[in-house]
Amino acid sequence: MTTTLAGALNAGLRKAMERDPKVVLMGEDVGRLGGVFRVTDALQKDFGERRVIDTPLAESGIIGTAFGMALRGYRPVCEIQFDGFVYPAFDQIVSQVAKIHYRTQGNVKAPLTIRIPYGGGIGAVEHHSESPEAYFAHTAGLRVVSPSTPADAYLLIQQAISCDDPVVFFEPKRRYWDRGEVDESVDLASALPMDRARVVRGGRDATLVAYGTMTATALTAAGIAATEGHDLEVIDLRSLSPIDFDAIETSVRKTGRLVVVHEAPMFAGIGAEIAARVSQRCFYQLESPVLRVAGYDIPYPPAKLEKHHLPDPDRILAAVDKALAA
């Protein structure tokens, strides 16, 4: 089928709920309203109020309740309505959810999926356009993933729900309305594993690594570069913890150059870990330093200024030119 990224997530949630009666959705306005982005549209109507639960406005309570349900054998899927609303639940996620498997020496699992629409570019007000993924990728015990296309969203959400580890699932809200093909016949067992990156464009001159919203931006930059005679390889990370460093290393050993793109602030971001690891593993193959293109190290700006804050093809291509000139 052809659908939007939001529609693909809805279809993936529906598939997971049909497959396993222990899958339960929870969050603010996820039921009758269908979520502010309509990702859970019609699911309460079809599965009932006991499986699609409208919660109070209490993120810590949502995650705490879901954590307890996960310990009792359910597979709860929580929606945090916007990225900037996750912080009241941060203690529950990093102090309890992430540590229970290790604390119990592997005897207790927490199959909990936490959906978070994230990122900017939609003209939203304060606390509605943040990119907090590095906080969670830094926390041992959590898996962190982010789809960039409807096809990936459809499969990744099902893989996250079926995973016995807690998964923080970042949804690029600027891409919710992007349309693409989704193959509903793909079986989870034969799908690309959740922790594997995907080469979405082959190339030989330099490697662009991106995820979520920035994958499409990197592909646009690569298309422009091609008109100027530069052949760029683009890798969609998909998983931010763990990161598929083998895929990145394979590409960099071929191209000799790497530019990492994300819209979160640059300091101590996902790109910093990738730059450090690749510099260590590919030192003798690198023809230039690893470069990063990111949001600026400031609180997210007002909507009328966000286009100056977010990485765009021009900023990416400027970094590519710098890498190629080294």
Q: Tens-of-pLDDT digits for all 326 residues of the chain?
A: 999 999 999 999 999 999 999 999 999 999 999 999 999 999 999 999 999 999 999 999 999 999 999 999 999 999 999 999 999 999 999 999 999 999 999 999 999 999 999 999 999 999 999 999 999 999 999 999 999 999 999 999 999 999 999 999 999 999 999 999 999 999 898 999 999 999 999 999 999 999 999 999 999 999 999 999 999 999 999 999 999 999 999 999 999 999 999 999 999 999 999 999 999 999 999 999 999 999 999 999 999 999 999 999 999 999 999 999 98
Gap between the Cα atoms of 162 and 20, Å rounded: 9
Q: What are phi and psi of 60, to 5 degrees?
A: -65, -40
- Kindly list the structural domains of the chain, giving each domain's residue range(s) and its CATH number in brackets, ordered by start: 2-190 (3.40.50.970), 198-325 (3.40.50.920)
Instruction: List beta partners, residue 52.
Output: 25
Nearest Cα residue to 254 out of 192, 199, 214: 199
Query: Residues 177, 129: contact at Cβ < 8 Å?
Result: no
* pLDDT at 255 (0 to 100): 98
Query: Residues 278, 248: contact at Cβ < 8 Å?
Result: yes
Query: Residues 52, 25: contact at Cβ < 8 Å?
Result: yes
Query: Residues 221, 257: contact at Cβ < 8 Å?
Result: no
Contact residues for 221 (Cβ-Cβ < 8 A; gap 6+): 208, 232, 313, 316, 317, 320
Q: Token digits for 210?
A: 């991106």
Contact residues for 210 (Cβ-Cβ < 8 A; gap 6+): 148, 217, 218, 234, 235, 236, 237, 260, 261, 262
Gap between the Cα atoms of 193 and 61, Å rounded: 31
Q: Which residues are catalytic?
A: 128
Query: Residues 169, 113: contact at Cβ < 8 Å?
Result: yes
Gap between the Cα atoms of 322 and 30, Å rounded: 46
Cut 0.85: pTM above it: yes
Residue with tokens 């529906």: 14
In one letter, which amino acid is 209? V
